[in-house]
Amino acid sequence: MTHSIKRFLAVTEYRREKQLAYNTKHHITPRSVTRAVEESLSQRDETRQEAANVLKDAGVDVDYTETLGELEEEMLAAANNLEFEKAALLRDQIRELKQLVNGSDPAAGSKPTRPVSYRKTGKAKRRFQ
Protein backbone atom coordinates (compact mmCIF):
# COMPACT_ATOMS: atom_id res chain seq x y z
CA MET A 1 0.00 0.00 0.00
CA THR A 2 1.25 3.44 -0.86
CA HIS A 3 1.46 6.22 1.68
CA SER A 4 -1.42 8.11 0.09
CA ILE A 5 -3.71 5.05 0.28
CA LYS A 6 -2.83 4.53 3.95
CA ARG A 7 -3.55 8.19 4.64
CA PHE A 8 -6.86 7.97 2.76
CA LEU A 9 -7.91 4.88 4.74
CA ALA A 10 -6.95 6.58 8.01
CA VAL A 11 -9.06 9.62 7.19
CA THR A 12 -11.98 7.40 6.22
CA GLU A 13 -11.72 5.43 9.46
CA TYR A 14 -11.53 8.67 11.48
CA ARG A 15 -14.67 10.00 9.81
CA ARG A 16 -16.48 6.70 10.31
CA GLU A 17 -15.66 6.65 14.04
CA LYS A 18 -16.73 10.25 14.41
CA GLN A 19 -20.05 9.57 12.63
CA LEU A 20 -20.73 6.47 14.73
CA ALA A 21 -20.05 8.41 17.94
CA TYR A 22 -22.41 11.19 16.83
CA ASN A 23 -25.12 8.64 15.93
CA THR A 24 -24.76 6.92 19.31
CA LYS A 25 -24.85 10.20 21.24
CA HIS A 26 -28.01 11.38 19.45
CA HIS A 27 -29.73 7.96 19.28
CA ILE A 28 -29.71 7.89 15.48
CA THR A 29 -30.10 4.63 13.62
CA PRO A 30 -28.92 4.97 10.02
CA ARG A 31 -31.27 3.64 7.35
CA SER A 32 -31.32 3.57 3.59
CA VAL A 33 -33.18 6.09 1.52
CA THR A 34 -36.33 4.63 0.02
CA ARG A 35 -38.42 6.17 -2.69
CA ALA A 36 -41.63 4.90 -4.19
CA VAL A 37 -41.04 4.55 -7.92
CA GLU A 38 -44.66 3.74 -8.61
CA GLU A 39 -45.74 6.93 -6.88
CA SER A 40 -43.54 9.12 -9.05
CA LEU A 41 -44.71 7.30 -12.19
CA SER A 42 -48.37 7.73 -11.28
CA GLN A 43 -47.73 11.40 -10.54
CA ARG A 44 -46.19 11.74 -14.00
CA ASP A 45 -49.26 10.18 -15.61
CA GLU A 46 -51.58 12.43 -13.61
CA THR A 47 -49.57 15.51 -14.57
CA ARG A 48 -49.62 14.47 -18.22
CA GLN A 49 -53.40 13.99 -18.14
CA GLU A 50 -53.95 17.33 -16.37
CA ALA A 51 -51.81 19.11 -18.96
CA ALA A 52 -53.75 17.49 -21.78
CA ASN A 53 -57.06 18.51 -20.19
CA VAL A 54 -55.91 22.10 -19.71
CA LEU A 55 -54.83 22.34 -23.33
CA LYS A 56 -58.11 20.85 -24.55
CA ASP A 57 -60.16 23.21 -22.39
CA ALA A 58 -58.13 26.25 -23.43
CA GLY A 59 -58.60 25.63 -27.13
CA VAL A 60 -56.87 27.87 -29.64
CA ASP A 61 -56.25 30.85 -27.34
CA VAL A 62 -53.20 29.23 -25.70
CA ASP A 63 -49.94 31.08 -26.32
CA TYR A 64 -47.66 28.10 -26.83
CA THR A 65 -44.41 30.03 -27.01
CA GLU A 66 -45.05 31.73 -23.67
CA THR A 67 -46.11 28.46 -22.05
CA LEU A 68 -43.03 26.68 -23.43
CA GLY A 69 -40.79 29.44 -22.12
CA GLU A 70 -42.31 29.25 -18.65
CA LEU A 71 -41.99 25.46 -18.57
CA GLU A 72 -38.36 25.63 -19.70
CA GLU A 73 -37.56 28.19 -17.00
CA GLU A 74 -39.22 25.96 -14.39
CA MET A 75 -37.32 22.94 -15.68
CA LEU A 76 -33.96 24.72 -15.46
CA ALA A 77 -34.75 26.01 -11.98
CA ALA A 78 -35.70 22.51 -10.84
CA ALA A 79 -32.48 21.08 -12.29
CA ASN A 80 -30.41 23.78 -10.59
CA ASN A 81 -32.14 22.93 -7.29
CA LEU A 82 -31.24 19.26 -7.84
CA GLU A 83 -34.92 18.31 -8.24
CA PHE A 84 -34.23 16.03 -11.17
CA GLU A 85 -37.52 14.13 -11.08
CA LYS A 86 -39.47 17.38 -11.31
CA ALA A 87 -37.17 18.59 -14.09
CA ALA A 88 -37.74 15.34 -15.99
CA LEU A 89 -41.52 15.71 -15.67
CA LEU A 90 -41.30 19.27 -16.97
CA ARG A 91 -39.07 18.11 -19.83
CA ASP A 92 -41.69 15.54 -20.79
CA GLN A 93 -44.44 18.19 -20.66
CA ILE A 94 -42.36 20.47 -22.90
CA ARG A 95 -41.82 17.63 -25.34
CA GLU A 96 -45.56 16.82 -25.44
CA LEU A 97 -46.51 20.46 -25.89
CA LYS A 98 -44.06 20.80 -28.76
CA GLN A 99 -45.57 17.70 -30.35
CA LEU A 100 -49.06 19.20 -29.99
CA VAL A 101 -47.90 22.40 -31.64
CA ASN A 102 -46.34 20.44 -34.51
CA GLY A 103 -49.59 18.55 -35.00
CA SER A 104 -48.48 15.08 -33.98
CA ASP A 105 -50.16 13.02 -31.29
CA PRO A 106 -48.07 12.95 -28.07
CA ALA A 107 -49.88 9.84 -26.84
CA ALA A 108 -48.72 7.92 -29.90
CA GLY A 109 -45.13 8.22 -28.68
CA SER A 110 -43.77 9.45 -31.96
CA LYS A 111 -40.05 9.09 -32.39
CA PRO A 112 -37.76 12.06 -32.98
CA THR A 113 -37.19 12.85 -36.62
CA ARG A 114 -33.43 12.44 -36.28
CA PRO A 115 -31.87 9.78 -34.06
CA VAL A 116 -29.60 11.00 -31.30
CA SER A 117 -25.95 10.00 -31.58
CA TYR A 118 -23.41 10.44 -28.82
CA ARG A 119 -20.43 9.63 -31.00
CA LYS A 120 -17.86 12.26 -31.73
CA THR A 121 -17.86 13.53 -35.25
CA GLY A 122 -14.83 12.62 -37.27
CA LYS A 123 -12.64 9.59 -37.00
CA ALA A 124 -11.71 8.36 -33.57
CA LYS A 125 -8.26 6.90 -33.11
CA ARG A 126 -8.01 3.45 -31.67
CA ARG A 127 -5.77 3.53 -28.65
CA PHE A 128 -5.51 -0.13 -27.83
CA GLN A 129 -4.96 -2.50 -30.68
pLDDT tens sequence across 28-66: 998 887 766 666 666 766 776 777 677 677 664 556 777
105 vs 111: CA distance, rounded Å: 11
Residue 123 placed within a domain: no
Residue 96 placed within a domain: yes
Residue 81 placed within a domain: yes
Residue 95 placed within a domain: yes
Residue 73 placed within a domain: yes
Residue 19 placed within a domain: no
87 vs 91: CA distance, rounded Å: 6
Whether 52 contacts 108, CB under 8 Å: no
Q: How many domains does the chain have?
A: 1
Range of the domain at 86: 37-106
* pTM (2 d.p.): 0.37
Residue 121 placed within a domain: no
Centre a 10 Å sphere on the Cβ of residue 91 and count the other Cβ atoms it contains. 16
123 vs 126: CA distance, rounded Å: 9
